[in-house]
Amino acid sequence: MRRVWALFIFTAVTSLKAEKPFEFPTTPGKLPKHIRPIEYAIRIQPDLAKLTFSGSETVQLSVESPTRQIVFNAFDVSVTEARIDENLIASSAVKADTKNELVTLSLPEELQHGQHTLALKFNGKINQFGRGLYYVKYQEQGTGAKKLLLGTQFEATDARRLFPCWDEPVFRARFQLSAVVPENWMAVSNMPIASERKVSAGREVSFQPTPSMSTYLNVFCAGEFDAIESETEGVKLRIITTKGKAESGRYALESTAQILHYYNQYFGIPYPLPKLDQLAIPGGFGGAMENWGGITYYETALLFDPQNSSITTKQRVYEVIAHEVAHQWFGDLVTMAWWDNLWLNEGFASWMGTKCTAHFNPQWEVWLEKSIPRDPARRIGIPKEQAMEGDARATTHPIQQPVATEGEANNAFDDITYKKGQSFLRMLESFLGEEPFRDGIRRYIQAHQYSNSTTADLWNALDAASGKPVTEIAAAWTEQPGFPVVTVKRENNGKVLLAQERFTIGFSKASDGLWKIPITYFIDAQSAPATMLMSQKTTSLEDIPMDRALKLNVDGAGNYRVAYDATSWKLLLASLPGMNAPDKVNLLSDAWAFVQAGLQPLAFYIDLVGRLPQDTALAVREQIINVFDSINHLLADTPQRDQFRNYAQWVLRPTLNELTFEPIRAELPTAPVLRASLIQELGLLGDQDVIKRCRENFEAYLKNPASVPSDLRGATFAVVMRNGNAEIWQRLHDLGLKTTSTEEKQNYYDALAFATDPALIKKTLAIALTDELPTSRAVFLVSKVARESDRPDLAWEFAKANFKGLLAKVDALGANSYIPSLFTFFTDPNRIEELRSFAKAHLSEASAKPVEIAADEIRFRADLRRRLIEQIGVLK
């Protein structure tokens, strides 16, 4: 085993230098490559009373060279019997290596080259934290009855918790699942049901075998479900929910038909399975998971109730479906060979999903939107800027990064993987052109369907389709960390000098880098954009009129920042009135990043905000709201905070006045979203009129919920709680306990996090240990409190005292980062040592990276806070 390990680390490191196209034998991984599973037949029998299961499976193996050992993955699963070609293997020859999540069978005789059958019996546990086979307890809609359902979540490496398997993405096989469920339950897996029969414990359901696929894409869900269905282009579509909620899946069902058609065209290969089920699960895990033919969603990411859901929910539902359905090709039909190329799955699905969403819903401004969701992550709403912010820090990593252990595979699901990946693909598409890019994707999918791939395979396909040196351009963006800032300097003769260097925040020892940057620019806001590839450290633009504004990074679509000299900046400021919203957002984002990095004073950003024409463009105002919100938190407990709050109200209030507090007919589709953001932020900043109106609306809501538009409810509750007492807390809590709608429940409990009275803060924190919220949401109530109450100390005190109970509820992706992330709300560098020693005593080795990210964040926040306090005098 050790030898295989050493070999793997070696290949992983060298592959970064010059990655090769996909080849099975050289793909990284722990498992020996001379035995491959071809087909599994798996039978699972859950025991719902004991929350355990027993299972059996036969695996057809292809043995490429004679061997005395069979090695596969299993974790928290005991193998009770093993047979090879029907010969019993002595139990003393079955060795479990818990640390490495492996089982080794030592055979009495050498197994010869050819096909063999492995038969195993095993048993394991059903857990509540969304890894492997999990259970969810919930209240049934309508009846309020307490019910239980079963679901699975396998990515990255948890299929091995349900059945012993070759649990690395490169070991593709066909899977034929059977499961025993209670008589009145519906059972769902990747493929349609082949047969059913009565058994003593209920009903045994057998599914058709899947095509060749990776283990982590298997799915099994069962419970008292309802479904609605339709058919599009020969594929049976279903939305499956717990009883009483199926009609809320109507929007998802209709959107899926639209999205599936779009992808059938785009990829040039029709969706390959006979059906596509999508399940809304009220707990278990937090995001969405692209299991082939059976996608699972946390309920609020799939269900939309036209009467009671907000427009933000509607948009998120569309975006998440578009992301997950894109994976059915990119990820499922073609799968990354190893976790070091996770970005291939996630960067691509994020980009494709957003492209598709923008195509059908241009009114949502999705490329600019702050809440581009990701899966299967637990956090929702990661600003696009956040990936660039993380990528500027000392703790960043290249998009393609070595992954050695299961724990590291789970760490790979971060902003860099999703958002930088997406951002780079968007930049590349605009450089190559929409059609050549699509042709390259078609070529790639065609060549690797039902197989695996590496990043090199994608670049080769795009090279061939576009005739441009994609491999060469891409290397710097995916294989080195960070991204560039381009400086713009005007010369006297119409010449503009451009120079690139690495952009960093609080990271003085950063290595420099050189990027091939697809630069886009325009002269004045009206002229057509031009493009050039900047391959060297410096270059120049010629014939730029001296008296006209020059803007680089058109629409902010490029993954780089731009620093202008004083003359160019002045001309740009003068051209703001004619500039479109994406370019304004881009200038604001860059300006704030320069303040964060200490390259410009706060006045630089404030001056830009002051010069913007008054308008209600969602993305422009959202950028400012986000920055104000973070400044407001950073200034907690300082005398400067009041001054800032007055200024921020003065900037934001006119926009709310223009929009009006109550919705009006014939307003922009983005108006309700902006209105809710403004009301919440102004309420938190202390705008007395907004607080008063929120209180009135809350009273009205208690009498008649329909009196407050669904878009405004979350903001209203938050503002009322921020300025409320124990009685308000109790009312919100009672409402939360009573509702069976996951979305409404979330609104009420989220609001509790806004309380500032320490006694109420403690009451909110205690909910995290109860069954009131699904586990995946309950644990994040603690982070929500740490952020919104400005009392991260109370949140941490609570988490420290209860960390075992909390970690028992955290899913695979949060396991390493959950505790460190609670420290990211501190601004006191003394906390760094406290985190390190806690991690050393209580957390796994895979937490080391999240600990360093949190430490860097604390230092950054402490530094920015110090500078803001010094510079706040600029807000006269």
Structure tokens at 265: 């065209």
Nearest alpha carbon to residue 625 among 601, 599, 653, 598: 653
Q: Is 334 in the site for Zn ion (CB under 5 A)?
A: no
Q: Which stretch binds Zn ion (CB under 5 A): 142-150, 368-376, 626-634, 715-723?
A: 368-376
Q: Which stretch binds Zn ion (CB under 5 A): 128-136, 339-347, 454-462, 513-521?
A: 339-347
Q: Which is nearer to Zn ion, 445 or 767 (CB)?
A: 445
Residues 266-325 touching Zn ion, rule: CB under 5 A, are none
Q: Which is nearer to Zn ion, 133 or 349 (CB)?
A: 349
Q: How far is 874 from 697, CA to CA, in rounded Å?
A: 36
Q: Which is nearer to Zn ion, 295 or 550 (CB)?
A: 295
Q: Which stretch binds Zn ion (CB under 5 A): 104-112, 165-173, 344-352, 785-793?
A: 344-352
CB of 16 to Zn ion, least distance (A): 23
- Secondary structure of residue 784 in the 3-state scheme: helix
Question: Count of residues binding Zn ion (CB under 5 A)?
Answer: 3
Q: Which is nearer to Zn ion, 346 or 408 (CB)?
A: 346
Nearest alpha carbon to residue 446 among 424, 461, 460: 461
Q: What is the DSSP letter of 22?
A: P
Helices (H), 467-601: 470-479, 566-574, 581-596
Q: Is the dihedral of CA 352, 358, 364, 368 positive or negative?
A: positive
Q: What is the DSSP letter of 173?
A: B
Q: Which is nearer to Zn ion, 346 or 743 (CB)?
A: 346
Contact between residue 369 and residue 383 where contact means Cβ atoms under 8 Å apart: no
CB of 273 to Zn ion, least distance (A): 18
Q: Which is nearer to Zn ion, 324 or 590 (CB)?
A: 324
Q: How far is 417 from 535, CA to CA, in rounded Å?
A: 24
Residues 369-408 touching Zn ion, rule: CB under 5 A, are 375
Structure tokens at 35: 């035995």
Alpha-carbon distance values, 144 to 159, 167, 619 (Å):
33, 39, 40
CB of 336 to Zn ion, least distance (A): 11
Residue found under tokens 């950003």 = 605
Q: Which is nearer to Zn ion, 347 or 672 (CB)?
A: 347
State which of residues 187, 273, 321, 349 lies at the interface with Zn ion (CB under 5 A). Answer: 349
CB of 30 to Zn ion, least distance (A): 24
Rg (CA), the chain: 27
Q: Is residue 699 among the annotated active site residues?
A: no
Contact between residue 44 and residue 162 where contact means Cβ atoms under 8 Å apart: yes
Nearest alpha carbon to residue 149 among 122, 177, 186: 186
Q: Which of 57, 290, 299, 324 is catalytic?
A: 324
Q: How far is 220 from 218, CA to CA, in rounded Å?
A: 7
CB of 475 to Zn ion, least distance (A): 24
Structure tokens at 257: 């038909």
Q: How far is 676 from 708, CA to CA, in rounded Å?
A: 12
Residues in the chain: 876
CB of 38 to Zn ion, least distance (A): 27
Q: Which is nearer to Zn ion, 252 or 349 (CB)?
A: 349
CB of 346 to Zn ion, least distance (A): 5
Alpha-carbon distance values, 356 to 198, 267, 367, 758 (Å):
44, 12, 11, 45
Structure tokens at 735: 């409402």
Structure tokens at 798: 């609570």
CB of 729 to Zn ion, least distance (A): 37
Burial of 432 (0-12, 13-18, 19+ CB in 10 A): buried
**Which residues in this chain contact Zn ion in the complex, by CB under 5 A?**
346, 349, 375
Residues taking part in catalysis: 324
